[in-house]
Amino acid sequence: MLSKTDSTLLKGIAIIFVFCHNFLHWIAPMLGENEFYYREEPANNFISGLINDPLNTPRYIFIYIAPFIALHLFIFLSGYGLTKSYINKEINFKSFIVKRLSRLYPVFTIALIGLFVYKYLIFRVEFTQATAIDFFLRFTLLANFIPGKMFVLNGPFWFYSLIVQLYFCFPILINLFKRSIYNLLFVAFIALILIFCLNDYLSYQNFSLYSIFVGHLPIFIFGMLYAQYAPIINKQFVWLVPLSIVLFVLGLYNLYFWYLSYMTFIIIVLALYTFLKKYKSPKYFKQFLLFTGGLSYYIFAVHGFLRTPWIGMANKADHDIYHYIYLLIFTVITYLIAMLTREIERYYFKIVNKYKLIKNKR
């Protein structure tokens, strides 16, 4: 089982992969990554990069491997945490969704305001009618459903729409799970069939099932299953890990094996974490990961638009070492703005709770 500390540590690892990937994959030469659909070129670039430029291995891992670990680890942990919370409770759909949205929207709104101030006021990017429409699509979480609009304004914000879609699915999934595990396995199987049959075709229409909940249901459901059957699943790591490594390697060369790559890395990370947590880690390293995991919600909200101007400066640098220096500067600034965002959110909830208290006294 994963404790609250375990989940926070894993969130810390996940968010580091997120912001490093979202920074490094924009630095030339751009390798590309197979995140929403499979193409041979990014996989070949990854392999040739490891062989021909081993000193830059961390960069290649963050660019190509990170998408398999980062956000999908958050999706897994979301399915896990929600199931632990609600498996023995009755769930009211309306109150569940309201609770989730009331937790998500304050920080999301602060981030959108921050993006507006940073990009359109400080850096004076032109604000047009099309930009206003993009803000509307982002705030209403509709952008993911519109071909070509998934990454408008700020690429990482696509995840907000996805996680809310999974929240809408969860009450149905947990009720199915309570009746029988086979109901949940059937839903995951149907999602995989849809992915195998439709995703490649849709990718040529500038759309992907990985931009909406369908593509991520297997990982989310695996998190739900792990919440109940962790000891049983952990015992299977002895054969699941070698199988996962083989499937990932095959996924570098084949579309259909690639579809299984997201699951393989969750299994590998879980197995590795379960093994390593038996040993005492350096105190400050663990504290840093716990701090980062606790701040991950806010880091994710602000890191996307804070990449300006550091990516541009990194691309003008004449040595690879500067890429990592600018990444470090970007990281420090992201942590500081994330902490500021957390304080603004706390102040917002303080005002809301004070208003509720006054209202209840009347």
pLDDT beyond 90 at 354:
no
Distance, in Å, from the CA atom of 269 to the CA atom of 169, rounded to the nearest integer, reads 25
Distance, in Å, from the CA atom of 32 to the CA atom of 42, rounded to the nearest integer, reads 5
The pLDDT of residue 73 is 94
Quickly state the pLDDT bin for 356 (edges 50, 70, 90). Answer: confident
Quickly state the pLDDT bin for 1 (edges 50, 70, 90). Answer: confident
pLDDT beyond 90 at 142:
yes
Nearest to 8, CA basis, from 277, 267, 280 = 277
The pTM score is 0.94
Span 178-196, average pLDDT: 96
Buried-state track 197-219, b at ≥16 Cβ within 10 A, e below 16: eebbebbeeebbbbbbbbbbbbb
Span 112-129, average pLDDT: 95
pLDDT beyond 80 at 362:
no
Distance, in Å, from the CA atom of 115 to the CA atom of 138, rounded to the nearest integer, reads 12
pLDDT beyond 90 at 129:
yes
Give yes or no for a contact between 188 and 147, defined as CB atoms under 8 angstroms apart. Answer: no
The pLDDT of residue 24 is 92
pLDDT beyond 80 at 158:
yes
Give yes or no for a contact between 331 and 19, defined as CB atoms under 8 angstroms apart. Answer: yes
Span 284-303, average pLDDT: 95
What is the DSSP-derived secondary structure letter of residue 116? I
The pLDDT of residue 357 is 73
Span 28-47, average pLDDT: 88
Distance, in Å, from the CA atom of 155 to the CA atom of 175, rounded to the nearest integer, reads 33
pLDDT beyond 70 at 361:
no
Q: What integer best gives the mean pLDDT of the chain?
A: 93
Dihedral pair phi/psi, residue 287, rounded to 5°:
-65, -40
Quickly state the pLDDT bin for 93 (edges 50, 70, 90). Answer: very high
The pLDDT of residue 280 is 80
The pLDDT of residue 106 is 96
Residue in the structure block whose two tokens are 């709104």: 109
Give yes or no for a contact between 48 and 334, defined as CB atoms under 8 angstroms apart. Answer: no
Nearest to 184, CA basis, from 155, 226, 224 = 224
Span 334-340, average pLDDT: 98
76: which residues sit within 8 A by CB, 6+ positions away?
219, 220, 222, 223, 226, 266
Distance, in Å, from the CA atom of 78 to the CA atom of 217, rounded to the nearest integer, reads 11
The pLDDT of residue 58 is 86
Give yes or no for a contact between 138 and 112, defined as CB atoms under 8 angstroms apart. Answer: yes
Quickly state the pLDDT bin for 359 (edges 50, 70, 90). Answer: low
The pLDDT of residue 132 is 96
pLDDT beyond 70 at 11:
yes
